[in-house]
Amino acid sequence: MSLGPFDGRVAALHPVHHDYYIATPNQNEIFAPPGPCNTYARADGHYGPDDHTQWPQPFSRSAPYLCCVPSPNSLPAEYSIMWWGPTYHDFECMRGHTGIGFLPNQKLELMEGCCKRLSERADEHQSNVPHNPLIHTYSINLRRTLSRLRAIGMMRREVLFECRQVQRQWLELWALLDYKEVYKPRMEGHVAPAKETANAIGCFVQEAESAERLFFAGIPYWIIRPITSFTTENILSITTVFQPKDVLELEDYIHPFPLIYVGDSNYCRFRAISEHGLKSLRYTDLFSDGNPKGIKPHEFEEAGPSRPQRNSNNRSQPCKPFYFALYVSLIRSQIQGVPKHQNEQHQRIGTNSTRLTVRTCLFHWKRGRRPSVLLIGHQQCSSQKSS
């Protein structure tokens, strides 16, 4: 029997609001619609029933592509890494640390391959149509998140979170490209309606117009309607509702992830998840010393955790400590006779038998630095005088 956009291959009573029913013309199951959200990442790094990459959410006009996120393992096997869930053992500790490490290299390479292929697809798409800033942003953020996952040793919890973040961004970009290339033209009637239903997560809708558009695009959807509006629609069978607890991980992580959103499942929920995922890409001001606005040059001397007296030892050295670290390490490694180097550009490292000069500085940078400091000092003095 041919079904229309408001018919039901299966249908069920709404599990909370019993004067409503849920029907779908292109799926065999009914999922429970999300209620009020308490959004936070669970033990598997997903956001439980609030996660649009694993559970259908209400259709969003601001981000319509989210309903096109492919269903788990619906793509060729080469992309299966995008649904892979790291276990406790998928963590390679860095030398000397018990708690900082990476994902196994083989998994990172698989992710890298997937991201590269998707980036190429995005570039090709961008070359054929007017530039879409959202696709560009997704491509950059995906690459940046994966780079962070590959470059920085992190704690197990962060590795899991960043891995899920790569997967989420990848799935969203895939969905966005599918939406632009395949589904949107169908929704707008520019091409013939779909003959098959997409293997995608889908969404919940209440408006008839949205349901019609999704129907023609071939995107899975569940329409929620008042029972009083039921007239001549066809319902082929009545079924029970799948609850998140039946299929999703709902347990908290051992050190729980923070709560990032409370409210209805709407575009704000999606924004909260996206922003929280990108938070790790934004660096704290390293010279802030606890002050959100940062500190001014003359305040460096007074910064830091313990400053009983003002002397040269108490001067804060935001980056120079790295040099100091090495200097101390040199002493520790028993290279004898290390003179205190006066600046980091011309390190002299001596031993009992040899005296080596390590010239590492780039001439024009060194030359550019020395007079410039004097010049700036002069400029500042001048400006102070004039003011």
Partner 1 sequence: MIWTTIRDICIYRLTSNASKVQLLSNQDWRTLLSGHVPNQDTMAGALRQSLALLLSPEATQLGVDLHNIADREFSMRETQENMWGISELSFRFELLMLDRRALDRRLFEHRERELDSLVREELILKCFYFRSDQPRHLASVSVRNARRGLASPNIRDRIPYLNALRRVMFEWMDYHRHHVARLTINEETRERDLLHYEYALARFYTQSYFRYFGRAAIIPTTLPDA
Residues 163-222 that bind partner 1 (CB under 8 A): none
Task: Kindly state the smallest distance separating residue 256's Cβ from partner 1, in Å.
Answer: 13
Helix 156-178 × helix 105-128 angle, to 10°:
30
Judged by beta carbon, residue 220 or residue 277, the one nearer partner 1 is: 277
**Given 283, 340, 352, 384, the residue binding partner 1 (CB under 8 A):** 283
Rounded CA-CA distance 361/347 in Å is 10
248-to-50, 53, 164, 268 alpha-carbon distances in Å: 11, 12, 15, 22
The least CB distance from residue 271 to partner 1, in Å, is 15
- Residue of the chain from 294, 337, 339, 348 that contacts partner 1 (CB under 8 A): 294
* Dihedral angle sign, alpha carbons of residues 11, 16, 20, 24: negative
**In terms of C-beta density within 10 A (0-12 exposed, 13-18 middle, 19 or more buried), how is residue 212 classed?**
middle
Rule CB under 8 A: say whether 76 interacts with partner 1.
no
Asked if 273 contacts 39 with a C-beta cutoff of 8 angstroms, the reply is yes
Question: Could you tell me if 218 and 195 are in contact, meaning their C-beta atoms sit under 8 angstroms apart?
Answer: yes
The string of DSSP codes covering 68-114 is GPBPTT-S-GGGGGGG----TTS-EEPTT-SSEEE--HHHHHHHHHH
Interior angle at CA 78, CA 73 and CA 81, nearest 5: 60
One symbol per residue from 138 to 157: x for binding partner 1 (CB under 8 A), - otherwise; what is it? --xx-xx-xxx-xxxxxxxx
Instruction: CB nearer to partner 1: give 182 or 278.
Output: 278
309 forms part of the interface with partner 1 (CB under 8 A): no
Binding region for partner 1 (CB under 8 A) out of 118-126, 160-168, 224-232, 295-303: 295-303
Contact residue for partner 1 among 290, 342, 384, 387 (CB under 8 A): 290
Helix (H, G, I), strand (E, B), or coil: what is residue 349? strand
Rank residues 68 and 166 by Cβ distance to partner 1 and give the closer one.
Answer: 166
Task: Name the residue nearer to partner 1 (CB basis): 41 or 203.
Answer: 41
Mutual angle of helices 156-178 and 133-151, in 10-degree steps? 160
Q: Where are the alpha helices (DSSP H) in 156-207?
A: 156-178, 184-187
Site for partner 1 in 97-136 (CB under 8 A): 97-100
Give the single-character DSSP code of 1: -
Question: Smaller CB distance to partner 1: residue 36 or 305?
Answer: 305
* CB of 271 or CB of 320, closer to partner 1: 320
C-alpha distances (whole Å) from 224 to each of 33, 103, 211, 245 are: 9, 42, 10, 21
Minimum distance, C-beta of residue 138 to partner 1, in the bound complex (Å): 12
Q: What track of x and - describes contact with partner 1 for positions 240 through 279 (by CB under 8 A)?
A: ---------------x----------------------xx
Structure token digits, residue 15: 């599990």
Q: Site residues for partner 1, window 53-72 (CB under 8 A)?
A: none
Size of the site for partner 1 (CB under 8 A): 91
Site for partner 1 in 18-47 (CB under 8 A): none
Considering only residues 80 to 99 of the shown chain, the ones binding partner 1 according to CB under 8 A are 94, 96-99
CA distance 355 to 85: 54
Residues 313-372 that bind partner 1 (CB under 8 A): 313-326, 328-330, 332-335, 343-345, 347, 349, 356, 358-362, 364-369, 371-372
Smaller CB distance to partner 1: residue 17 or 370?
370
Q: Which of 129, 247, 376, 381 binds partner 1 (CB under 8 A)?
A: 376
Judged by CB, which is closer to partner 1: 245, or 310?
A: 310
According to DSSP, the β-strands at 203-205 and 57-58 are parallel
* By CB under 8 A, residue 310 contacts partner 1: no
* Of 245 and 279, CB closest to partner 1: 279
Name the residue among 281, 300, 276 with its Cα closest to residue 289: 300
